[in-house]
A and B are shown apart, each in its own frame.
Chain A
Amino acid sequence: MSERFIKLLLLSIGSGFMVFFCLFPFLYMLLISLGENPTAVWKGTGFLTLDNYREVLQRESLHFIDYLRNSMVVSSVSALFSVLISSLSAYAVTRLSFPGRLFLLFFVLAVSLFPPISIVGYLFKLMSLLGLINTYSSLILPYISLNLPLSLWILTSYFSQIPLELDRAALVDGASRWRILFRIILPVALPGVFSAFLLSFIFSFNEFILALTLTTDYRARTVPVGIALFQGLHGETPWGTIMAASVITILPIVLLTVLFQKYIIGGLTRGAVKG
């Protein structure tokens, strides 16, 4: 057997396995969501019905639409602010001289590794004190903070590749630093800004333990918590409904991944490896 053949064989088997490994839970999710009960798909009766979707979207007592809206608002607002705030910092880190620049970068890297359980107990007390329990703010404020480290690392990596001559020319022309950041740096680093936004959005959308602790009902509860706590009225788990809700929930995330795969991979590798 030639080497090329072995390689081709390994690649085909490997990629076949990879696709199956990654996608079979989603296929299963879809099949179950289309059945009256979890065995309908194998029996062939009561299969290919949209009842579960109708249930999820129409029964108001499930509050699924509320959860989805909460998730969208909380994730977009958190992502927007974390990108805005971290771009200010990334500008300072790459453009201005101040003592402790490297320390700051590595310090926030360490902060991003703190286990969320070590902040959640106190956050609960803090948010209770501020009267913010079960509001969007109780999630948005910590989410912004938790997204800042990765966002800062991604933007620092992008900003540092922009030639300083651009700044110098603008400074000579009398532009302020704010103007330089918003009119020159950010537009040039737009791909980086976008990937920082995407990753912040995905992290906020997926966050679980804070959302579980700091919200109490449909007014602020996000969709992962909603789905995790989904229980039937009579003890039997309504699998069809849960899977239909899951399919709808992952649709926007899958869509983002399909459309912007390059930005996500770029952000992850810059944030985690290259620095």
Chain B
Amino acid sequence: MLKGTLGRYSSDELRDAFTFLLPLILFISIFILLPVMGTFLISTYREVTFLEKEFVFLENYLKLLSDGAFWQSLRFTLLFVLVSVPLEMVLGLAFALIINERIPFRGLLRTVLLIPWAVPLAVSARVWELIYNYNYGLANLLLLKMGITDEPVNWLGTELGAFIALVISDVWKTTPFVAIIFLAGLQAIPGEIYAQAQIDGANLFQRFFRITLPLLKPVAVVALLFRSVDALRVFDLVYVLTHGGPGGSTTSLSLYAYKHFLAGDFGYGSAVSVILFLIAFLLSILYVRASGFLSEVAR
């Protein structure tokens, strides 16, 4: 991508580069990097609204170690990533295979697929909230009508029900994104490979497992890592759908930190945020390396 430029470094070119980059650097530094550093700093203080601010170094982190609710939210967050991301990958690949074919209404199908991704999650989460409603939600209505269950399912009031409800809604929301990434990967596979394989007598499934899947691997790695980092920070969905309940069982790390911020406990909330930041950051490094590798290949 960055093959040639208009020359070697010269002092006026460096000055221009700096001028052109300055607004971006300023915005990212002030509104993203500074707040991240601030969060790290605050996490070393006991800082609660209306109380005296006090430097406590690692005390907040030591408190986290023996905080059952923190471990519960860490466990929920990781479990949520481990269950929903693989489902999104499989379904996303299936959808990508469909919209990559030359079929009638392909443009329309692609548009339909984008819509769940494009609308605000907080808004669609309210529809899901109604779908899972115990008394008159669509989910229970269908389950009862079709005779799958005799009694309504308590979706949002039980730990397992709430977890499944969150996973289904998240898969619905993010599968389109995964599908679009896979679509880009599919379009990069030259058609001649398939034509040749067909001549050699490979059937539909052999072509998929022997050609498509192996060639999609780099794209799959990027999609997997991106979605994992994204799913780790889940907030909107749990905030609207379960409020972290029942009994705190679906409180994600983001929501757990937010609840402390809301209560005015900035020190402890920041410590929780830092833990999430570090987990996400480690995964991001892998992601950046994987996509760097990918653009290397694409060149």
Residues on A close to B: CB < 8 A? Answer: 3, 6-7, 11, 14-15, 18-19, 21-23, 25-26, 28-29, 32, 38-39, 42, 85-86, 88-89, 91-99, 101-102, 104, 106, 108-111, 113-126, 141-142, 144-146, 148, 152, 156-157, 160, 164, 167-168, 171, 177, 202, 205-206, 208-209, 212-213, 223-225, 227-228, 230, 239, 242-243, 246, 249-250, 253-254, 256-258, 261-262, 264-265, 268-269, 272-275
Contacts A38-B136, A119-B39: A89 and B24 contacting too (C-beta < 8 A)?
yes
**Contact check: which of B20, B35, B130 meets A91 at CB < 8 Å?**
B20
Say yes or no: A88 contacts B20, CB within 8 Å: yes
Contacts A91-B20, A261-B111: A273 and B185 contacting too (C-beta < 8 A)?
yes
Say yes or no: A117 contacts B107, CB within 8 Å: no
Say yes or no: B295 contacts A98, CB within 8 Å: no
* Cross-chain pair count, CB within 8 angstroms: 318
Nearest CB to that of A123 among chain B residues?
A: B35
Say yes or no: A257 contacts B111, CB within 8 Å: yes
Nearest CB to that of B222 among chain A residues?
A: A273
Say yes or no: B226 contacts A272, CB within 8 Å: yes
Say yes or no: B118 contacts A256, CB within 8 Å: yes
Stretch at the interface among B63-71, B155-163, B189-197, B265-273: B265-273
Say yes or no: B118 contacts A28, CB within 8 Å: no
Q: List 9 A-B contacts (CB under 8 A).
A: A92-B21, A119-B31, A121-B42, A122-B270, A142-B31, A145-B27, A228-B239, A243-B126, A268-B180
A202 to B114, CA, bound (A): 12
A39 surroundings in chain B (CB, below 8 A): 136
A206 surroundings in chain B (CB, below 8 A): 118-122
B136 CB, nearest partner CB in chain A, Å: 5
**Contact check: which of A6, A110, A160, A269 meets B288 at CB < 8 Å?**
A110
B19 CB, nearest partner CB in chain A, Å: 8
Contacts A97-B8, A113-B287: A227 and B277 contacting too (C-beta < 8 A)?
no
B112 surroundings in chain A (CB, below 8 A): 18-19, 22-23
Which 7 pairs, one residue from A and one from B, show the smallest C-beta to C-beta distance?
Answer: A122-B38, A275-B295, A119-B35, A224-B122, A269-B184, A115-B233, A92-B20
Say yes or no: B20 contacts A22, CB within 8 Å: no
Say yes or no: A116 contacts B235, CB within 8 Å: yes
- Interface check B200, CB cutoff 8 A: no
A125 surroundings in chain B (CB, below 8 A): 38, 266
Stretch at the interface among B79-87, B146-154, B253-261: B253-261
B163 CB, nearest partner CB in chain A, Å: 19
B255 CB, nearest partner CB in chain A, Å: 8
Contacts A86-B24, A95-B6: A122 and B127 contacting too (C-beta < 8 A)?
no
Say yes or no: B123 contacts A227, CB within 8 Å: yes
A162 CB, nearest partner CB in chain B, Å: 12
